[in-house]
Structure 1
Amino acid sequence: MENHQHEKKTLWVVLLTAVTMVVEIIYGLTTNSMALLADGIHMGSHVLAIGLSWLAYVIVRKVSKSEKFNGSSNKILSLSGYNSGLFLLIFAIVIMVEAVDRFFNPAEIVYKEAILVAVIGLLVNIASAFLLHHDHEHSDHNIKAAYLHVIADALTSLSAIVGLIAAMVWDIPFIDTIAAIISSLVIIKWSVGLLKDSGSVLLDINNSTEHSHGHQH
């Protein structure tokens, strides 16, 4: 019943992330804080990706009851993990583009407020990471993808906190940018690993390499 456990956990994380997202967007709009708004929107991309992971467990649960389905439920979880990996890659590239843009067009940062948001984001992500923590030996690509999204978000929150505090204390605004770029590179590395792992399951590369050549795009 491991999948069922994972299904419940991912649903909790989706709800937790969605609530944080709504709060951040509302506060971002009312306080004119770009940092809050941006973080809220980033949260949205994770709600989508982790929502996808949850949906994959629901589908597996439904199809495993069906007599017609004789495929591998592992494939469904890997497909979800693969799509999630793509989300993660796009997320990292967007942060990088934003950071570079910020580097050339420095914005006035409302430090205390931005730090507060980043701290809230970090706490939500830590709670989510505990919920999604799993034994790597028994994990599927789907739960791994959901877990990576949460960790990636925690990493960006953490780099934002460090960057903002350094920028505030030493008045060096571009530390924030450097922190964001470093986070992006780490997230890109994770997402590529996830795409490779889940992609090889989808293409049956482990079982028959020659069979998979026909499917490669």
Structure 2
Amino acid sequence: MTNKIEQSAQEKRTAFVVIFTFCMMLAEIIVGLTSYSMALFADGVHMGSHVLVIGLNWGAYVLVRRLNSKDATQYDGDKILNLSAFTSGIFLVLMAVFIITEAIERLTSGSTIINYEFALGTAFVGLIANTISASVLHGHHGTTDYNSHAAYLHVLSDALTEIGAIIGLVCAMFWSITWIDSAVAVTSAIVVLRWAKRLLWDTGRALTKK
């Protein structure tokens, strides 16, 4: 069984990340709409998807805590957390497939970036926010269960995507190499798929273990 003190600590860390990401999402959407920046608005909407998924991880901790307080022995708290992590793994796969699809579409359509400076600024803001969230979720002793690890992977995958975007934008802005943006995005998505595969394998085994 996962230590209740560790569960409580991870619940608080996950709650912070959900609230912090939600605030960042609102800020980006509001500024994006008022400044007519679709790039910032789109990034805010993307953050919203992470609020939902990491919110699922937070909800699992809350549910387990309440069941433990009621001494509901018919429920296995670890199974609930593992199921939440498994669901997060599925969302990671969907996210990676979406990134690959978008990257291929942009590569074949030959679309160009209009405002490099603003796009870079947006990517840096997202990277800083995800770095803070990742450091909070990881804590001093790392992630202690699959559920917290799943939330950490979501934030880490977003940070990896932001780094890839920055590399692609810099290459396009200074050397007019536009295809690198899509190539880096696909590479990042493949890494995320590997993380998701491992998470699904580990949580799947844990869920089927008697």
Same fold (TM over 0.5): yes
Q: Which moved more, 1:14-23 or 1:74-83?
A: 14-23
Identical pairs, percent: 46
> Would the alpha carbon gap of residues 116 and 11 (structure 1) be closer, same or farther in structure 2, given more than 3 Å must change?
same
The Cα shift of 1:37 comes to: 3.2
Q: How many residues align?
A: 204
For structure 1, the residue ranges without an aligned partner over 5 or more in a row are: 208-217
Partner of residue 80 from structure 1, selected from 71, 84, 88: 84
Asked whether the equivalents of residues 33 and 114 of structure 1 are also in contact (C-alpha less than 8 Å), the reply is no
Cα separation, 1, equivalents of 2:81 and 2:180? 38
Cα separation, 2, equivalents of 1:34 and 1:170? 25
Q: Is 1:49 the equivalent of 2:53?
A: yes
The Cα shift of 1:40 comes to: 2.1
In the other structure, the counterpart of 2:192 is 187
Cα separation, 2, equivalents of 1:93 and 1:28? 26
For structure 2, the residue ranges without an aligned partner over 5 or more in a row are: none
Cα separation, 2, equivalents of 1:125 and 1:63? 31
Three-state SS of the structure 2 residue aligned to 1:139 is coil
Spell out the pairing of 1:134-149 with structure 2 (5 A cutoff). Answer: 134=139, 135=141, 139-149=144-154
Cα separation, 2, equivalents of 1:94 and 1:73? 32
Q: Is 1:101 the equivalent of 2:105?
A: yes
Asked whether the equivalents of residues 42 and 91 of structure 1 are also in contact (C-alpha less than 8 Å), the reply is no
Amino acid at match of 1:97: T
> Would the alpha carbon gap of residues 188 and 13 (structure 1) be closer, same or farther in structure 2, given more than 3 Å must change?
same
The Cα shift of 1:175 comes to: 1.1
Amino acid at match of 1:69: T
The Cα shift of 1:72 comes to: 2.0
Asked whether the equivalents of residues 112 and 178 of structure 2 are also in contact (C-alpha less than 8 Å), the reply is no
